[in-house]
């Protein structure tokens, strides 16, 4: 189950569970759409994969036991292991290769 991490790993902006601007990679690295589009060029600086919009877990249970009330988002903030310069450099090296080919 997705953690629904609370922040962008690059700029540290808040990304609450209902955020429509949250993006994740296959490892659930979490960044805001602005950083993904304008800084990282859709290249995850941690794994090299691409990003997709993070799904929004329902606030209320539409099926018994399935909601943010029952499976809340994590409150543990994460930051990338790399500096912004390292992330930008890594993304620049791989931006011209499509996610399926990285």
Gap between the terminal Cα atoms of the chain: 25
DSSP assigned state of 4: -
The pLDDT tens digits for 77-90 are 999 999 999 999 99
User: pTM value?
Assistant: 0.92
pLDDT tens-digit profile of 19-61? 999 999 999 999 999 999 999 999 999 999 999 999 999 999 9
Using left for φ > 0, alpha for ψ between -120 and 50, and beta otherwise, residue 29 falls in beta
Domain boundaries, the chain: 22-97
């Amino acid at each position: 189950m997705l953690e629904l991490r609370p922040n962008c790993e690059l700029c540290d902006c808040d990304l609450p569970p209902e955020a429509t601007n949250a993006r994740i990679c296959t490892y659930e690295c979490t960044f805001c759409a602005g950083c993904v589009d304008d800084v990282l060029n859709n290249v995850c600086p941690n794994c090299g994969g691409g990003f997709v919009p993070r799904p929004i877990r329902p606030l209320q249970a539409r099926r018994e036991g399935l909601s943010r009330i029952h499976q809340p988002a994590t409150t543990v903030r994460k930051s990338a292991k790399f500096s912004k310069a390292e992330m930008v450099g890594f993304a620049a090296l791989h931006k011209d290769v499509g996610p399926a080919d990285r």
